[in-house]
Amino acid sequence: MGARPGDAAEFTDLESAAMTAALNAAREGVRGANPLVGAAILTADGQIVTGHHGGTGTPHAEVDAITTAHDLDIDLTTATLLVTLEPCDHHGRTGPCTEAILAAEIPSVVFASPDPNPLAAGGGKTLAEAGLTVRSGLCEEDSRALNARWVRSLTEARPFVTAKIAQSLDGAVAAADATSQWITSAESRAHAHEVRSRVDAILVGTGTAAADDPRLNARGPDGIALDDQPRPVVLGTSELPVTSFLALNPNTLHLRTHDVREALDELYAAGARHLLVEGGPTVLGAFFSAGVVDEVFCYQAPLLIGPGRGSVDGLDIGTLSEALQLIPDDTETPAVSRLGPDFLLHFATADPGPDSTGLPESVT
């Protein structure tokens, strides 16, 4: 016996309200290698307690909600658990959510959409076979929309790709004389390091590596490198300067290719599930052109630079109707927020852009 899909009339108004609360809680999480998931516990007397998954290695949404309910002395034996995604049924960095649900003695579970990850799917069936009442399909379209880009990266067996842009008001990442440090504020740079701290790898092109000599590490507010570091990645065929930080770092992965898809395949094989692309402009343009960017953080500084280097190069767009569409994304933080004098713009990408073989040969 597996999970039973329900129709709209089968779910009560309170259950619909609880699933809406779970969807809102899911948006408090962070995009990346894992889906956005929210959970809500609906008590027999109509109380709603929510939880969400905060990112890799943190408790899953179901466990977060159950923990909160225990802290509030809520009777779970008469409650319903509503989850935006089918509870997982596998051991990863955390245990199966099915085990936590069974241990909590929750009798009824409703999930919005099935888990598309074959490694984690099957939780609904496991819970139903254990005797729980399991239904699915409530707010399914909303759940699918929330994680559409994550599902696409999962289906394509590639890392989830976040693109970072730090630019002036007129869209430049460097002045005419190539100076670029710093266009954005200390507050923006601190946020960028928070993003770095939760990805598996950070990628730049060989041109940026040679010009800026970056470390591509994640540092805390005190400027000290964190214990857990993303892997630095360089894309392109040119050699790195032998005395550069990246050349001296034994963990640096040099992808000697101009093909974005080939690079993503190699990164996925190396275990990377969340990639941050920091540039330069031609590398960013190649990833956008290949249709593989899932999320964008744009740090917008209140500067006018004039003639300089644009933030994204190489997009083959000849008319406005061909523009790549971005969708304001209010997960984790508002889609538009203030960082010191700068503004942070958070986007998800819409329909995939035109396919591309990757970087033009001019990128070395």
pLDDT tens, position by position, 340-349: 999 999 999 9
User: 117: which residues sit within 8 A by CB, 6+ positions away?
Assistant: 154
pLDDT at residue 50 in the model = 97
- Select which of 15, 28, 62, 99 is catalytic: 62
Query: Which CA distances in Å does 67 have to 29, 37, 63, 233?
Result: 17, 16, 6, 38
pLDDT at residue 256 in the model = 96
Structure tokens at 173: 């990442």
What are the residue ranges spanned by the domains of the chain?
Answer: 4-151, 156-349
Structure tokens at 140: 């399914």
pLDDT tens, position by position, 211-238: 889 999 999 988 899 988 999 999 999 9
User: Is-above-0.75 flag for pTM?
Assistant: yes
Cα angle for residues 181, 182, 183 (degrees, 5° grid) = 120
CATH numeric code, 156-349: 3.40.430.10
From first to last of its 364 residues, what are the pLDDT tens digits of the chain?
455 655 555 899 999 999 999 999 999 999 999 999 999 999 999 999 999 998 888 899 999 999 999 999 999 999 999 999 999 987 666 778 999 999 999 999 999 999 998 887 899 999 999 999 999 999 999 999 999 999 999 999 999 999 999 999 999 998 988 888 889 999 999 999 999 999 999 999 999 999 889 999 999 988 899 988 999 999 999 999 999 999 999 999 999 999 999 999 999 999 999 999 998 899 999 999 999 999 999 999 999 998 888 999 989 899 999 999 999 999 988 999 999 999 999 999 985 444 444 444 444 3
pLDDT at residue 279 in the model = 84
Distance of CA 177 to the CA centre of its chain: 35
pLDDT at residue 95 in the model = 78
pLDDT at residue 350 in the model = 80
Q: Is the sign of the CA dihedral 21, 23, 27, 33 positive or negative?
A: positive
CATH fold, domain 4-151, is Cytidine Deaminase; domain 2 (3.40.140)
pLDDT at residue 351 in the model = 56
Closest CA to 83 of 34, 32, 49, 119: 49
Is residue 62 annotated as a catalytic residue, yes or no? yes
258-294 burial code (b ≥16 CB/10 A, e <16):
bbbbbbbbbbbeeebbbbbbbbbbbbbbbbbbbbbbb
Q: How far is 172 from 177, CA to CA, in rounded Å?
A: 12
pLDDT at residue 9 in the model = 54
pLDDT at residue 211 in the model = 87
Closest CA to 342 of 302, 303, 296: 302
DSSP 210-237: HHH------B-TTSPBPSS-PEEEEESS
